[in-house]
Every structure is written in structure tokens, then in C-alpha cells.
């Protein structure tokens, strides 16, 4: 078999398709927005491009409508399942990336003004509080359905992270740290 390279995006597609049984790119998008997209964002285009590639590699089946929108529905192949499973069995490498423009700005806050920092902090508290609320709502609605335990676990991490963030930025605010001049 020829060698090929799979990336996080590939596994996101494989994983989503596997869980959904079959799906069009549009449906993948909707599912991603409601779950994985909360902590690992990516553009919509990838959900059209990557499946084409995975189909060529034999990891997905594609079946195209012969009429109307001629949309393509994907399902996972035996090889795709294997690739997904193999990846899940590999040890995880690399540290967690926390890509947060707010944190970046905090890091360099000494180059700005106290007013800028105050606004940053206030904005971050508001944003994280809102996101926390969203997660709490989702958690509640999901619990009623039961079952989907791993997605729930990932959501739990998101929830805890938002709690942490609200607490962190609130601490920043209360300490009223001054910018050295």
C-alpha cells in the first residue's frame, strides 16, 4: 500500500463520519459546530476537501446523488475504521496548545496601557462567562439524552476550562494590576 499522511483534520472527518454512519459535508459541518468545533476549530472548506482525499485513499466511500444538488454522501470503509482505530491506539504526542489572543495580549500587556488591559480583562470575563453558559446549556440538554459519554467528557473539559478562565480573569481584575510606566 502506498504511504499517506493523515492529519488531525483527517481524523476529525473520519471520526465524525464513523459516528454519524453516513454524512454529507454540510451535515459534518453542523455536527462539528455543535461539538468538536468548540475546542478545535477549522474552516468549512476542509469538510469538502478532505473527504475527497480520504475517498481516494480508500478510507471513505462516496456516493453521489444523480439528480438535484448531486450532493455526495460519505461513509467509512473498513480501511478507514482501521486508520481511525490505529490513530486512537497511538500514544499522544505534543503539548496542549492554548491559542488565546487575550492571553497573548496579557503576555505583552506591559507594552500597552492600563486602560487597554482593563478592557481586555473585562472583555475576557464576559466572553468566557458567555461560553460557560453555552456549555452548561449543552450539558443539560445532552444529559437528558444519555449515552454519548465521550463527547460529554470533552465538553466537560471545555466547561471546566471556561470556569477556570472566568476565575483567572476575575482574579486579574481584582488584583487591579498596574502597568509599570
What residues line the site for its own copies (CB under 8 A)?
8, 11-12, 15, 18-19, 35-36, 38-41, 81, 84-85, 87-89, 91-113, 115-116, 119-120, 123-124, 127-128, 131, 147, 149-151, 153-154, 156-158, 160-161, 164-165, 168, 172, 177, 180
Cell 467509512 sits on residue: 76
Our CB check for DNA shows the closer of 8 and 123 to be 8
Q: 60 has which bridge partners?
A: 76
Helix (H, G, I), strand (E, B) or coil at 61: strand
Q: List residues binding DNA (CB under 7 A).
A: 5, 7-9, 24-27, 41-46, 48-50, 52, 64, 68-72
Cell 472566568 sits on residue: 166
Q: How far is the CB of 99 from DNA (least distance, A)?
A: 10
Which residues lie closer than 8 Å to 39 by C-beta, 6 or more apart? Answer: 154, 157, 158
Q: How many CB atoms lie within 10 A of CB 181?
A: 6
Residue 79, judged by CB atoms within 10 A of its CB (0-12, 13-18, 19+), counts as: middle
149 makes contact, choosing from DNA, its own copies, none, with CB < 5 to 8 Å by partner type, with its own copies
Q: How far is the CB of 164 from DNA (least distance, A)?
A: 25
Q: How far is the CB of 5 from DNA (least distance, A)?
A: 5
Amino acid at each position: 500500500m502506498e504511504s499517506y499522511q493523515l492529519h488531525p483534520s483527517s481524523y476529525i472527518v473520519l471520526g465524525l463520519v464513523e459516528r454519524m454512519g453516513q454524512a454529507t459535508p454540510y451535515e459534518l459541518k453542523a455536527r462539528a459546530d455543535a461539538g468538536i468545533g468548540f475546542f478545535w476549530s477549522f474552516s468549512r472548506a476542509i469538510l469538502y476537501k478532505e473527504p475527497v482525499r480520504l475517498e481516494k485513499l480508500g478510507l471513505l466511500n462516496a456516493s453521489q446523488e444523480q439528480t438535484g444538488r448531486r450532493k455526495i454522501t460519505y461513509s467509512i470503509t473498513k480501511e478507514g475504521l482501521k486508520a481511525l482505530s490505529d490513530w486512537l491506539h497511538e500514544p499522544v504526542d505534543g503539548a496542549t496548545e492554548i491559542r488565546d489572543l487575550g492571553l497573548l495580549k496579557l503576555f505583552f500587556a506591559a507594552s500597552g496601557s492600563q486602560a487597554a488591559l482593563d478592557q481586555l480583562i473585562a472583555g475576557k470575563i464576559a466572553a468566557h462567562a458567555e461560553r460557560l453558559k453555552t456549555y452548561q446549556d449543552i450539558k443539560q440538554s445532552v444529559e437528558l439524552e444519555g449515552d454519548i459519554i465521550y463527547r460529554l467528557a470533552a465538553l466537560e473539559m471545555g466547561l471546566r476550562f471556561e470556569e477556570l478562565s472566568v476565575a483567572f480573569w476575575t482574579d486579574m481584575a481584582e488584583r487591579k494590576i498596574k502597568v509599570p510606566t
